[in-house]
Amino acid sequence: MIAVHDLTKLYAGRMAVNHVSFQVEPGQIVGFLGPNGAGKSTTMRILAGYMPPTSGHVAVNGHDVFRESLAVRRSVGYMPETAPLYTDMRVKEYLRFRGELKGLRGRDMRRRVGEVMELCSVTDVRRRLIANLSKGYRQRVALADALLHEPPLLILDEPTSGLDPVQIRQVRELLRSLRPAHTILLSTHILQEVENLCDRVIMIHHGRVLADDTPERLTARLRTLTEVYLEVRAGTQAVADLETLAGVRKVVEEPAEGGWSRHVLRVEPGRDVREDVMMLARERGWELRELHRRLPSLEDVFIELAAAEPARTV
């Protein structure tokens, strides 16, 4: 559905996208993940046919984004980072206006506008001025617009930015419901979002692809950071005792209130020392009020990969 080969984009001599290549198969939800300034929006704008690349080949649904940008736009529902909604229009009026630009007429127009308003839960505000809508509603109107012409591919630039947790969940559920008929590429700087929603994650940083894999495989790859937390009421020997457990590399103690202390155990990759900790606590007569393991998250993966990246040359 998307084939990007050696894409670069220069802004006034500065490399915003730096030799990026990736492919997206139909039916996938792919998360484009990276900090602000990583090059996500630039890449997406190029993919949607709204900006030419400096070099490289980009094909969407079999069409070259540069030579066949009209065909590309027909295949893509693009939601820009700041959606250019006409705030003096009413929701339904806006969607009809957008539908007209996309070639919808008559019965098709009525059907489709009704469908996308339902799908994006904006039917109840269809007569409201866009200017008076909350951010969550505006975001959903923008999504309805992107869906109007029934494109097989959705390119959504930070679709949940500025939304509250409830709205984020609604958007996430909506996107899930669009699979597998739609292929979705969405950008975010929120790691949890890709963990919960995406089949695949493309991490980008300084315009380059750092990693491209499933969330599970990415976190499995990072095998250095398993930690176990416990809160105990124990003697001063606790740290030394915990350090004798097989698999524990390091114990850091942080005081907590009321005689409790909190210990963070850095544990060898692939080891689970929680049972041994329980037994030790029982043997020593410690009171134990918390014990849990923290597996590496995508955030850890990102931090490690970004730190390992060679210094920028441009």
Ligand X SMILES: Nc1ncnc2c1ncn2[C@@H]1O[C@H](COP(=O)(O)OP(=O)(O)O)[C@@H](O)[C@H]1O
Side by side, the strands of the sheet bearing 200-205 are 76-79, 153-157, 183-188, 29-33, 200-205, 208-213
Chosen from ligand X, Mg ion, none, partner binding at 34 (C-beta under 5 to 8 Å by type): ligand X
Close Cβ partners of 86 (under 8 Å, ≥ 6 residues apart): 94, 97, 130
How far is the first Cα of the chain from the last one, in angstroms, to the nearest whole number? Answer: 31
Task: Answer yes or no whether residue 206 interacts with ligand X by CB under 6 A.
Answer: no
Task: Answer yes or no whether residue 39 interacts with ligand X by CB under 6 A.
Answer: yes
Chosen from ligand X, Mg ion, none, partner binding at 52 (C-beta under 5 to 8 Å by type): none
Closest CA to 152 of 68, 27, 45, 62: 27
Interface residue with ligand X, options 36, 84, 283, 307 (CB under 6 A): 36
Task: Answer yes or no whether residue 37 interacts with ligand X by CB under 6 A.
Answer: yes
CB of 187 to ligand X, least distance (A): 6
| 106-119 helix and 135-147 helix, angle to the nearest 10 degrees | 140
Task: Answer yes or no whether residue 230 interacts with ligand X by CB under 6 A.
Answer: no
* Site pattern 3..42 for Mg ion (x: CB under 5 A): -------------------------------------xx-
CB of 133 to ligand X, least distance (A): 24
Close Cβ partners of 221 (under 8 Å, ≥ 6 residues apart): 213, 301
Structure tokens at 292: 């849990």
* Site pattern 3..22 for ligand X (x: CB under 6 A): --------x----x------
Residues that bind ligand X (CB under 6 A): 11, 16, 34, 36-42
